[in-house]
Homo-oligomer: A and B are copies of this chain.
Amino acid sequence: MDITPAPFGPAAFSPAEYDRRIALTRAAMERAGIEILFVTDPSNQAWLTGYDGWSFYVHQGVILGPDGPPLWWGRMQDCGGARRTVWMPHDNIRGYGDHYIQASDCHPMEDLGHQLSGIGGARARIGVEMENYYYSARAHAVLDAALPEATLVDATALVNWQRAVKSAEEIGFIRKAARISEHIVQTAIATAEPGLRKNELVAAINAAAANGVGADWGDYPAIVPLLPSGPDASAPHLTWNGAPLQRGEATFFELSGCYRRYHAPLCRTLHLGPAPQKMLDAAAAQAEGLAAGIEAARPGNRACDIANALNAALRKAGIEREGRCGYGVGLSYPPDWGERTISLRASDETVLQPGMTFHSMPGLWQDDWGLETTETILIREEGPAEALCNIERKLFVKD
């Protein structure tokens, strides 16, 4: 089922989809004994309300009580953006004054304390996302002081877990992101050549990401392009510089298309000039590992089964890989396109369900080279997972 929503405008999903999300979240709140939930994760805000804007660098969030539509709370000047993107009645948008912004003598959480008291939260059990980029240690201390009779309980990832199984509408978005991912990776491989400066290659990649594919416009991915070359590729998470690409070096491309905040990460590696046998062998092992992981990625199996199958295939080729080899993906805002729930690693026994989506990511960072071949996969109703992108799994070589 491939639902095609309107190409732009507020509230990206159907009312039934938002109802589903609210109901799932309220059930999780009840299990955790949480009366009011305050959500700061921008992805969770967007998932529950549709809110979309680059305003998460100031304090803001979504308040969900036991009934009625959620409230969006943020900086007064961002209420305009909320009115243009959320599905709730505009009475449910609450703003705080600009004097709170990055001030040392007051804090927006004082205002949030008043807001929560005003809706019966003064003595409530209130869930907060203790482990989130956008809920600082100070924010927690100020909110705690502002609500002396309330109980703040840790609701980290409570909403993220509700997002793990994607709806048909969401899978439609991720499929569009996957088409854009293919377009970006193909552009990177086609454009790269010895002498081209790395930043010029990024210009082509970023243009492809925004252009998107056909009517499906490209949104900004939650992580910028990562594309280290040669010895720099021994480290993950380096971005780029102005150095020219060199013959005799490999560059890995860690990229994702983004369609309306939904991601389908896709990594490939390109060698300029004839590739050394050790890299060709490692790339073949990576491809076998991915295939083995996909084979194990069936409903009823566990997250660790994917990791164990993948690592066993690598081991057969003499590669001992440590660390996790994947994570849930979908809706996200910077700085991470992962969902921060399920990890593909030996210790994670989460049972796989149809509609879950993962970035299977067996990146190899060796002493003086690196190799990334990855897939975004969808757990199906039965059988092995579906790889959502269709780009050959190999070390690309341009001579």
Contacts and interface: CB of A to CB of B under 8 A. Distances in A.
A202 interface: yes
A135 B137 contact: yes
Nearest to A143: B137
Interface residues of A, number: 86
A199 B203 contact: no
B138 A7 contact: no
Given A102-B327, A203-B209, 13 more contacts: A52-B239, A54-B335, A78-B236, A98-B324, A130-B138, A131-B138, A137-B139, A198-B217, A199-B210, A199-B219, A206-B210, A210-B240, A220-B239
Interface stretch (A284-292, A336-344, A381-389): A336-344
14 contacts: A53-B235, A57-B133, A78-B237, A80-B234, A80-B235, A102-B327, A130-B137, A136-B137, A137-B137, A140-B140, A198-B217, A203-B208, A203-B210, A203-B211
A380 interface: no
Most chain B Cβ neighbours within 10 Å, of A76, A137, A141, A224: A137
Contacts of A157: 104
A57 B60 CA distance: 19
Contacts of A208: 203
Q: Which 5 pairs across A and B sit closest by C-beta, in order of nearness?
A: A217-B242, A80-B235, A8-B241, A137-B140, A98-B323
Contacts of A223: 54, 57
A367 to B, nearest CB: 9
A128 to B, nearest CB: 7
A56 B335 contact: yes
A57 B199 contact: no
A13 interface: no
**Number of identical monomers bound together in the oligomeric complex:** 2
Contacts of A117: none
Given A8-B243, A324-B98, A53 B137 contact: no
B81 A236 contact: yes
Interface in A225-270: 226, 232, 234-243
A243 B219 CA distance: 12
Interface string A129-166: 01111111111110000000000001011000000000
Interface of A: 7-9, 52-57, 76-78, 80-81, 83-85, 98-99, 101-104, 128, 130-141, 154, 156-157, 197-200, 202-204, 206-212, 215-220, 223-224, 226, 232, 234-243, 322-324, 327, 334-336, 338, 340, 343, 345, 347, 365
Contacts of A232: 84
A157 B345 CA distance: 37
A327 B81 CA distance: 22
Most chain B Cβ neighbours within 10 Å, of A81, A240, A322: A81
Contact of A199 (B98, B212, B234, B323): B212
B136 A136 contact: yes
